[in-house]
Amino acid sequence: MAQKSKEKSTRLTGRIVIPGNPSYNTARMEYNRRFSKFPRIIVFCQRTQDVINAVKWARERGIRLRVRSGRHSYEGFSAVNGGIIIDVSEMNKVKVDRKNRVAIVQTGNPLARVYKKLWHKRVAIPAGTAPDVGVAGLTLGGGVGLLSRKYGLTCDNLKQVKMVVASGRYGARTIVADRKKHSDLLWASRGGGGGNFGVATEYTFRVRTISSVSIYSITWKWSDLEKVLPAWQRWAPSVTNRLTSTIEVAAKQVGTIVSTGQLLGGAEELRRLIRPLLRAATPVKVMVKTVPFIDATKFFAESDLNLEPKFKITGAYGFQPLPPEGVRIIRDFLSKAPNRHASVWSQSLGGAGSAVSRVSPTATAYPHRKAETIYELSARWRNNREQKQNIQWVKRFRRALRPFVKGDYVNFPDLQIKNWPKAYYGVNFGRLKQVKRKYDPHNVFRFAQSIPVGKQVRK
Ligand SMILES: Cc1cc2nc3c(=O)[nH]c(=O)nc-3n(C[C@H](O)[C@H](O)[C@H](O)COP(=O)(O)OP(=O)(O)OC[C@H]3O[C@@H](n4cnc5c(N)ncnc54)[C@H](O)[C@@H]3O)c2cc1C
């Protein structure tokens, strides 16, 4: 009896939200409204001790837990029915040490806040585009964005992570992982995916000085797909690594193809660099300008605003340009998209001198170093009755395109991927399991596609 009461001695601290509280409904919601889960408790942690208490509390009671920051998981992995959500979004300090070129960023920060705080000191980290994506999940899975080809993935710039891990039978403790101590956990935190090992509370990033950049946007007619997409795919990985670019082919009913990009350099140089794209087909609209870096982050954030609330997305990597058959598949699927909110998006990652490709596939847990591009096939909708058709469309599209692409980004998770350990982690899965066994032997941090402790993988 005494033992039992001791086991349940920890009290929750932080801002606690439970069913019945006026804020429960907003507190429980994921960004992807396809999911609507009902946790028993949500703890908004303000201090590391709140996180430690929450992990202990859950373990003492055998209650399932999930870790949450920006809530942007595609498959709702940061929510749970009947369990506790440990939310770090109120831990959002940022400290820049410009002299030593590092920033200490608490993991509750959304990207827009990180960019803004760093911009005040005229420094930046390479990170993603959506303003409200959490730096926590983004970094642990990799982190691709418009500075990737020059400065690498977000995780490549992670020097240190503070993490609350499970300890003993019911406990929790903070550890600091860097190159010297717990270097295996730092390795795993650089692409091993969120929610697998513990609760990251603080990151130390290497930062780069930044001032102005040049950006472009080119719009073509949808009917130019066969000219524009292959031209972009040849050009994007071969151009200077100071230029990272994207292309988005919308559903046919929208009628456009848009490419955007960012150059660490001037507008005149950018105008010259994009010539092969402008020659591919006659554009409907072209914009090239030099702007302060912070304005560029806002420009790229626009494409992630005002989207339909429910979505299904699947990803892929391109290791060479698509053959005509691959482009035809994209044309076919986007001609018959379930609605106007479907699209194919791609971003350049590798190629000529790219910082992403320079790193060996085993140097960090993120293995897709040799990919030239990354893709997203997405469908979005509002009403539940549209759901089945949209999900089926993404599933069939994925299957059709697979012969021409490989692997998957763990930050674009898809529950329909059968062999997800290989797709996300490739050669690094074995080592990730070892790290899991060392830091979370009781499998406290688990969800549908978490790294397993033993041999069993949920498929
Ligand atoms: C609109 C949109 C735009 C996007 N743009 C980009 C982009 O430009 N580049 C890019 O690389 N990716 C992008 N992504 C994908 C994004 O990187 C992932 O969705 C990422 O996992 C989101 O992290 P989060 O903290 O917001 O999400 P959450 O749902 O809070 O967490 C995601 C995963 O990480 C875990 N996790 C969260 N916090 C912690 C923590 N403190 N410690 C340990 N584990 C934690 C969760 O348990 C969950 O498994 C985008 C996603 C969306 C929806």
- CA neighbor of 80 nearest in space, from 451, 453, 445, 452: 445
Comparing C-alpha atoms, which of 397, 434, 394, 364 is closest to residue 157? Answer: 364
Measured CA angle at 172 (ends 170, 174), to 5 deg: 170
pLDDT at 7: 67
pLDDT in tens, 310-343: 999 999 999 999 999 999 999 999 999 999 999 9
Q: Which residues contact 272 (CB under 8 A, 6 or more apart)?
A: none
Q: How far is the CA of 133 from the centre of ligand 1 (A)?
A: 6
Which amino acid is located at 270 in the chain? L
Sign of CA dihedral 445, 450, 451, 452: positive
Strand order in the sheet with 373-381: 285-292, 212-221, 256-263, 243-250, 343-348, 373-381, 310-318
Closest ligand 1 atom number to CA of residue 200: 42
Share of the chain above pLDDT 90, in %: 95
Cβ of 88 closer than 6 Å to ligand 1, yes or no, is yes
Ligand 1 pocket residue status of 77, Cβ below 6 Å:
yes
459 pLDDT higher than 50: no
Cβ 55 vs Cβ 195: under 8 Å: no
Closest by CA to 346, choosing from 228, 264, 182, 221, is 228
Nearest CA-CA partner of 347 in 438, 429, 285, 411: 411
Residue nearest to atom 41 of ligand 1 (CA): 200
Contact status, residue 42 vs residue 26, Cβ threshold 8 Å: no
pLDDT at 2: 40
- pLDDT for 306: 83
**Computed over its alpha carbons, how large is the radius of gyration of the chain?**
22
- Average pLDDT for 218-225: 98
For 79-112, the pLDDT digits (tens) are: 999 999 999 999 999 999 999 999 999 999 999 9
Look up tokens 């994207």; give the residue. 246
The CA 73 to ligand 1 mean position distance, Å, reads: 5
Residue 447, classed as helix, strand or coil, is: coil
Q: Whose CA is nearest to atom 35 of ligand 1?
A: 194
| Predicted pLDDT at 1 | 39
Count of H-run helices and E-run strands, the chain = 16, 18
Neighbours of 408 (CB within 10 A): 25
SS (H, E, C) 304-323: HCCCCCEEEEEEEEECCCCC
Domains and CATH numbers, the chain: 2-87 (3.30.43.10), 94-209+426-439 (3.30.465.10), 212-404 (3.40.462.20)
378 in the Ramachandran plot: left (φ > 0), alpha (ψ -120 to 50) or beta?
beta
- Torsion angle, alpha carbons of 420, 188, 349, 289, to 10: 130
How far is the centre of ligand 1, averaged over its atoms, from the C-alpha of 426 (Å)?
A: 20
CA of 432 to the centre of ligand 1 (A): 19
